[in-house]
């Protein structure tokens, strides 16, 4: 059905024609096929008809809140979703991520940032060869042997630290909300206990980052969560 099977298809759901035009310009130049929808309803129709590879969804749609569109979509569809929000909407960002969005961008955003996020999303659905070894910076994680080395020296990680690192590797380059991480590691009852997470993040960074004041791989997204960048140079 797709016009060009080689090109990944992105659906842009945004009511602003200028944003849609701009996204089309950026995305087509980078080798994506682009479809547009103006409203949540139209967007859903597009998803049903064309089954895009990724969706860029604006949270402030004229017909219904983007978060609602997302929630309904996630009932039957797992296509990666990148949400667009505007300044000052930290709450809706988190709501969107918790409702199943894979990442977010705040308007105004840069082209490089957008493309890096999109690449990360598409990489996730087409996992590379099931490599048991994963490298980032000066560290290497042997997932099969459950061993972490830095500059060739074995690092000692506690069970929780390792679980946290594993979670980040599984969801690399993608933002994870506090709630998602807490739930995964300490169970649903711990969803509000952000100090657990902060404490373990600090321990993990101490062991794996070069500069604690400017971490490169374990990035903090203020008020939202964390993002693990396997290759910071690629993330703009």
Distance CA 116, CA 139 (A): 22
| Binding span for other proteins by CB under 8 A among 6-14, 37-45, 53-61, 216-224 | 216-224
Please work out, in degrees rounded to the nearest 5, the angle formed at the alpha carbon of residue 125 by the alpha carbons of 214 and 113: 40
| Count of residues of this chain found to bind other proteins when the rule CB under 8 A is applied | 28
| Candidate residues 2, 135, 146, 198; the one interacting with other proteins per rule CB under 8 A | 198
If binding is defined by CB under 8 A, does position 18 make contact with other proteins? no
Please work out, in degrees rounded to the nearest 5, the angle formed at the alpha carbon of residue 125 by the alpha carbons of 227 and 140: 50
DSSP string, 98-119: HTT--EEEEES--HHHHHHHHH
Q: Residue 227 Cβ, how far from other proteins at the closest point, in Å?
A: 12
If binding is defined by CB under 8 A, does position 189 make contact with other proteins? no
If binding is defined by CB under 8 A, does position 158 make contact with other proteins? yes
If binding is defined by CB under 8 A, does position 213 make contact with other proteins? yes
Distance CA 38, CA 9 (A): 17
> Residues interacting with other proteins, by CB under 8 A?
87-88, 90-91, 108, 156, 158-161, 178, 186, 193-196, 198-202, 212-215, 220, 222-223
């Amino acid at each position: 059905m797709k016009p060009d099977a080689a090109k990944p298809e992105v659906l842009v759901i945004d009511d602003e024609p200028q944003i849609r035009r701009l996204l089309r310009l950026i995305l087509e130049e980078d080798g994506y096929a682009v479809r547009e929808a103006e409203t949540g309803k139209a967007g859903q129709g597009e998803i049903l008809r064309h089954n895009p590879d990724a969706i860029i969804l604006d949270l402030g749609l004229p017909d219904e809140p983007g978060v609602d569109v997302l929630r309904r979509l996630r009932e039957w569809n797992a296509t990666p979703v990148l949400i667009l929000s505007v300044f000052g909407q930290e709450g809706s960002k988190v709501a969107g991520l918790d409702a199943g969005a894979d990442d977010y961008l705040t308007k105004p955003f840069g082209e490089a940032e957008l493309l890096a996020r999109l690449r990360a999303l598409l990489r996730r659905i087409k996992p590379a060869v099931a490599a048991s070894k994963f490298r980032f910076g000066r560290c290497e994680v042997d997932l099969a042997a459950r061993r972490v080395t830095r500059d060739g020296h074995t690092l000692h990680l506690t069970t929780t630290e390792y679980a946290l690192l594993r979670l980040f590797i599984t969801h690399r380059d993608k933002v994870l909300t506090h709630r998602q991480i807490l739930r995964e590691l300490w169970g649903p009852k711990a969803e509000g206990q952000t100090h657990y997470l902060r404490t373990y993040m600090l321990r993990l960074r101490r062991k794996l980052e070069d500069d604690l004041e400017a971490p490169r791989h374990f990035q903090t997204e203020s008020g939202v969560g964390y993002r693990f960048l396997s290759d910071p140079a690629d993330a703009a």
